[in-house]
Every structure is written in C-alpha cells, then in structure tokens.
Amino acid sequence: MMDGSQKKGLKEQRPLHIVTPLLESWKLSMAAGTTVFLKLENVQPTGSFKIRGIGHLCQEVAKKGCKHFVCPSGGNAGVAVAYAARKLGIPTTVLLPKGANPTLLERLEREGAEVQIVGKVWDEANLKAQEMTKVDGWVNIPPFDNPLIWEGHGSIIHELKHTLGTRPGVIILSVGGGGLLAGVVAGMKQVGWQDVPIIAMETRGADSFNQAIQAGRLVTLPDITSIAKCLGAKTVAARALECAHECQIISEVVDDVEAIEAVERFLDDERMLVEPACGAALAAIYSGCLGRLQAEGRLSASLGSIVVIVCGGNNIDRAELRDLQTRLGRS
C-alpha cells in the first residue's frame, strides 16, 4: 500500500502512534463499584498499544541506517512493525507462530511485509529472527524486550497524567513478555506516580510473569497452553521482574474462560471487540479479582478512579470469537 508518507521515507520522524481517548465507562464502573477509565489503545492505527514502543524503536534504528526489519511476533507487534516500516520505507519480514488470524495476515501483506509462519509459539519465531538478523543491516525488532520500546510505551502515562490530572487509585494492564509493564513503570517514574499500584494480568498457561514473581527469578514455561497467544512469551523480559522491586505490582492470573467472558461482556458493554490478551486485563474487574484484592486488604477499599489499559489486538473477529467460544465449550 503506497501513500504520501512512504515517499517521505526516513524523514518521517513524528510519532507513529496517536494520542488515544480516555473513556469513562459506566458499565465497568458499575462492575468495579468506582469510576473506571479505559485507555483505548485498541484505536491505535495498528489495533494495539504496540505501535507506541515499536514505532519509536523502528524510527531510532532507521536513523542508524537499518536496511530490513525482522519482527518475531504474536501478531500485534508485527502489525506495528509493518506499519512503521511502510511509513519509513524499510522492507520487513514478520515471523509469526501458527494460528494467526487471516485478517491479520491480510493486513500484514497489504502493509507490504513478508510473512513467514514459524513454529507453534512465539519463542520459536524469536529464535529464527535471531538467526536472520546475522545479516548486516538486518535488525531484529523484538515485541517487548528493548529499552526504546519501554520508552515509547511510557507515553501512555504522560497522556493519562495530562487527561486525568490526578493520579488513579490503580492501573490495570496485561502482561505478555512484560514490555507494556516496563513502559508503564518507566512512565510512572517520570511523572512521579511510582506509588500507584499496578495489577498485572495474565491467563493461566501464559503466566510466565506470575511464575517468575513467585519463584523470585525468571521462569521459562514448558509450553503456552492459553488461548491468549499474544500473552504467550515463555519467559518474560528480565526488566519486567525488576519492575516488581521498584513499584507495587500485584500479579494475578485468570483462566481462559474468564478472559473470553471479559471479551464478550466488553463487546456488549462498550461495543468494542478485543482479543483475549486484552480480555485478561478486563477480567480483573469482570471476574471479581479487583474486589477480592480489596477484600483481602491488598488494595485500598476506596480507590478513587481505576484505569484499565485496553491493549486491543488484531487477532479477533466474529469468526475467531465463535471459534474460541466453541473451543472453550461456550456455545
């Protein structure tokens, strides 16, 4: 797909992400018993928050003369790289594990990226990316483990501070490899919000952060068994674990059914369809996890406002939702 910005090539140095809306949700506020704000990263031009950090990283490596991006991805980082690459005029290969959604594949191809399907889980695609980037000028754009990615994701918090004015009582987000978490923590430190607690949500079977927190060291899962494939990094970034020593991070795990229930309820409540990776974050409220943490005294009973980072995701449409519901015995 050609557009004017492609011709500008490397001169494109404005951020590639947009400032997203912060929506007060009546339905989620009812469910949580306090005001819930949704940071709508699903409306980014690439369908998820990933463009913030990945866009920033791609712009920086493009300045240094990168000739080809290679991105091992669960899907959404791949769309972000493909979009950034088109804007910057740099060829791209996206490596995806099996099972990617056809709409997502079409999007990648239309952005001009070459797509290769590698292995069953993201970690296998990651190994191949490391091989491919031994060529001079080919650069590996990882989906979550890079300081420039965290710097880019940190912009979410600057926007929140600007829009909300006051600090929220808690921030809820999903954790895959921990890039979003690391970016949010970086942003919170910059704006002086490091004492705001974070609820870090994962699904069972993709819970590499929770297991690392419990063990006090990085843990590599034997396999990814959750439907939330985009949370499926077998090992989180070391930085994600460090963050747990710097801020109050409450790590919680929901099962796939709770994540998909959250996707369904969110569709009814807000008329927006997100993938299970994002359902995990919404499930903190819908599944009663938040209320339990308050009852246990791990979170204040009077939180004021809550922010949920609606990370979004492209791996979903009506057919995919039906398929997931069938797999989970829900239809």
Interatomic CA distance for residues 202 and 240, integer angstroms: 13
Residue 68 corresponds to which tokens in the numbers above? 């080809």
Contact with ligand PLV (CB under 6 A) among 156, 175, 198, 241: 175
Site string for ligand PLV, 87-126 (x = CB under 6 A): -----------------------------------x----
Secondary structure (3-state) at 195: coil
210 binds ligand PLV (CB under 6 A): no
Task: Kindly indicate which of the ranges 56-64, 155-163, 224-232, 282-290 contains the residues binding ligand PLV, using the contact rule CB under 6 A.
Answer: 224-232
Q: Which stretch binds ligand PLV (CB under 6 A): 27-35, 62-70, 75-83, 99-107?
A: 75-83
Single out the segment in contact with ligand PLV by CB under 6 A; choices: 12-20, 175-183, 213-221, 318-326: 175-183
User: Whose Cβ is closer to ligand PLV: residue 76's or residue 101's?
Assistant: 76
Question: Rounded to an integer, what distance in angstroms lies between the CA atom of residue 236 and that of residue 233?
Answer: 6
CB of 173 to ligand PLV, least distance (A): 8
Let me know the angle formed at the C-alpha of 283 by 166 and 327, rounded to the nearest 5 degrees.
155
Query: What is the closest distance, in whole angstroms, from the C-beta atom of residue 136 to ligand PLV in the complex?
Result: 25
The vertex-254 CA angle with 234 and 330, nearest 5°, equals: 110
**CB–CB of 195/226 below 8 Å?**
no
* Closest of 286, 264, 261, 283 to residue 273, by C-alpha: 264
| Ramachandran class of 278: left when φ > 0, alpha when ψ lies in -120 to 50, beta otherwise | alpha
Coil, strand, or helix at residue 40? strand
Question: β-strand 22-25 against 35-40: which pairing, if any?
Answer: antiparallel
By CB under 6 A, residue 171 contacts ligand PLV = no
Contact pick of 73, 140, 251, 287 for ligand PLV (by CB under 6 A): 73
Closest C-alpha among 54, 56, 35, 38 to residue 46 = 54
Beta-strand pair 138-140/22-25: unpaired
Instruction: Characterise 65 by phi-psi region: left (phi > 0), alpha (psi -120 to 50), beta (else).
Output: left
Out of 34, 155, 174, 235, name the contact with ligand PLV by CB under 6 A.
174
Q: Report d(CA 142, CA 149) in Å as an integer.
A: 9
Which of 180, 219, 243, 310 is the binder for ligand PLV (CB under 6 A)?
A: 180
Q: Of the two residues 143 and 197, which places its CB atom closer to ligand PLV in the complex?
A: 143
Instruction: Confirm if 108 and 136 have CB atoms less than 8 A apart.
Output: no
Q: Of residues 40, 61, 74, 299, which one binds ligand PLV by CB under 6 A?
A: 74
Closest distance between ligand PLV and the C-beta of residue 160, in Å? 17
Written as six digits, the tokens of 59 are: 């712009």
* Contact call for residue 196 and ligand PLV (CB under 6 A): no
Q: Does 142 bind ligand PLV (CB under 6 A)?
A: no
**Site track for ligand PLV across 299-328, x = CB under 6 A:** ------------xxx---------------
Residue 101 or 294 with smaller CB distance to ligand PLV: 101
Q: Which residue is nearest to ligand PLV (CB)?
A: 74
Name the one residue in this structure whose structure tokens are 């079409």. 106
The amino acid at residue 128 is: K
Q: Is 77 or 284 the residue whose CB approaches ligand PLV more closely? A: 77
Contact residues toward ligand PLV (CB under 6 A) are 48, 50, 73-77, 122, 143-144, 174-181, 230-233, 275, 277-278, 311-313
